[in-house]
Structure 1
Amino acid sequence: MAPHALLIPLPAQGHVNPMMQLAWKLVSNEFFVTFLNSDSNHNRILTANTPNSFFDNIRMISVPVEIPPIDTLKGIENGIEALAKDMGPSVIDRVIQEINAREEENKVTCIIADVWMCFGLQPVATLHKLPLAAFHTSPVSLFAMRYFSAHLVSLGILHSDGIAKEEKRMKYLPCMPALHSGDLPWLWAGEYMFRKGIRMGEEIKDIKWVLFNSFSEIEAPVVETLAGLSEKQLEELALGVEATRRSFLWVVRSDLMKGSKAILPAGFLERVRDRGCLVSWVPQLEVLSHPSIACFVTHCGWNSVQESITMGVPLLCWPHFSDQFLNRTYVVDVWKLGLSFNANSQGIIEQGEFVKSVEILLESEQGLEIREEAKKLKIIARDAVKDGGSSSNNFNLFVTAMKRQPNE
């Protein structure tokens, strides 16, 4: 049985055409494709394309989509919201159910959706046990600008509406060329699209595969940056961990683990094998509760921050996107529970910076003050969930309210 891909383009010409090219490529690799489109685009494609052998394995289906005129900023917002309703997750869920009910031997096996059609789609894919891939039809650089836009706001480079604080030409990301403030890619569509782009970046972080209509060689620095632990950054981190001469537990995502061993510094694993361990997953709360844990190098996700606070473990903060920069600000500047790393001009945290931060946290007077604050907040956090504590009281109020009968 051939794999069956459901393709969901954004119903706009510049997005539909690349998605159709992808459909043909999949067919040439022995896929069966269902191509879901709006009624108007569906009819246009059928009229414009002469039937050929590729269409034997591409089923064209459509749903009614009522997109208002988009000749104004408000029209753009209304159009996006119309898509969310007419081609949103509930519609996709129904389409998958209908296909699978109709074709017992040819059920959908994966979903590939335009990045702008991925909002809320991961739960649908999970419900049907299908892998989900996002397809970005524009340059990787544009995706990077949107992906890191929240970071630029947190750094004070952009206002919260996406407008640059200074009208000048500058490098907004180390991996990209300088860009004038008036050429930022979201300005044409206003604050709504800027905030929608931030949300898109947040949605994408949970999707394993992102396909780009580009090739690595022409946008290599951006591709490496989006890959997360780039080879250079991974090398610097490994050498920094080694140079601390301290015992460590390093958690590397399973999808990066296979490649990571090939790009770690030569002989690294052998040199640290008596004091270090690399794994793909740990029960984080149990690890943080162990008395031998002196500090936690973290991306500052909120769950990680709260678990560290609860266990009294100071943090070394390495945020990447979304709320992580805000969380880092509270950890470092407000609660005084940790330190930040300072990246170089290429956005790399060098091994020396890593070693310096570890030594400050674990050996200096400043580090002692941070560790003492961590102990204090640990007590406060645990008291909050005890009987009579603030969190316990609030939860009990909620439970009591939920138990009341409707007529009370």
Structure 2
Amino acid sequence: MEKERNGHSALCLVLSYPTQGHINPILEFSKRLEHKGIKVTLVTTRFMSKTYHKDASNSIALETISDGYDEGRIGHAESIQAYLERFCRVGSQTLTDLLEKLSSSSNSVDCIVYDAFLPWALDVAKKFGLVGAVFFTQSCAVDNVYYHVHKGLLKSPPSEPQILLPGLPPLQPQDMPSFIYDLESYPAFFDMVVSQFSNVDKADWVICNTFYELEPEVVDWMAKMWPLRTVGPTIPSMFLDKRLEDDKDYGFSIFKPNSDACMKWLNDHPKGSVVYVSFGSLASLDVEQMEELAWGLRKSNSFFLWVVRAFEEAKLPKNFVEETSDKGLVVHWCPQLEVLTHEAIGCFVTHCGWNSTLEALSLGVPMVAVPQWTDQTTNAKYIMDVWKMGLKAPADEKGFVRREAVERCIREIMEGEKGKEIKKNALKWKTLAKEAVDQGGSSDKNIEEFVTKLAHS
């Protein structure tokens, strides 16, 4: 169906924070909008546009703005704080320039959907009289924590042994996002995540990358304050409802996966026999933690497929790859969605980034949670205690998950009695995730409502 607004298809600019984990969900949301007749242009930074591999089947148009560091992004800034301040200043100006360029063409913009990490984009949208929709890439539970810190209703770090927030289960301080309980870790990022709420009350829409059935209590509570809609899980359609036939991959990638090697290796292994291990595109493990994880995998006696990015390969124990070649395959990157859907996969050892969590949940894969930082600790709490589709590997007093804990959690999921219940719950969530984006599902209805209101506003 073709949505018309003032004689032309409504056009959305969709602006992402420039990391893989933020572009993936906002890009998938864009594809859903296009499927329903809205024209979409993805906006990223000039540096990111030069480093991406774009899939030929991806039809989303691309425009760029500057973060002030066109030759190297955050790595070329004096500090994280300096990067974010310059991005706000230069990004606002170059986004304004882009809107002026488009307004003088036939591609005048009607709406900006912007990453919640970039609240200044709403100020630009309002200057041009555009609809402004904020897109939260993390769970509503995590967003709720940040909101309470922003309002001064939750101290950072928390002083109470148990934290009670509306819509959330009782949380201990270590269940909070790391920026909250470890304030000194990344103070600039703490300011950024809390500032997501600096002007949220002015947004016309608040869009969240989750689905209602996953977090009903906190969604209901947040929806009392804002025009909040859930639109997830935002993973390629062919892994869920299969309505977007060409949508088999996110379409933009920093890394080139070892696809053939991974899938060929998995094809040679029995159903449910392989442990998949990946810590995403940003998390960096200490050498000691890499060693403990390596020996935990070996002691579990399971087959394993482990993603170790090239710059972290030197952290592996000496001769580990050669000595475990009969049991494991170590690669620099892999097609994660294809791997998670392969029948050989029995569980996923994960850092619990929200994208990885949603992918595993949507595909029915039990998880061993080894959270590292930011929202991952809260996601791990939900994986184990709320959704009950995984185990959180306990860390010692130094913050490391030891090999015995890795081995115990893997064995429990792969072979134990508790693992049977976890696998059953994983399949339940897989069904609910698919239903959310199926025609008439909770997320599909919300996307349809957004499209309809945009087309006729």
Which of structures 1 and 2 has the larger relative contact order (alpha carbons within 8 angstroms, sep 6+)?
Answer: 2
- Judging by fraction of residues, say which structure has more helix: 1
TM-score, with normalisation over the residues of structure 1? 0.49
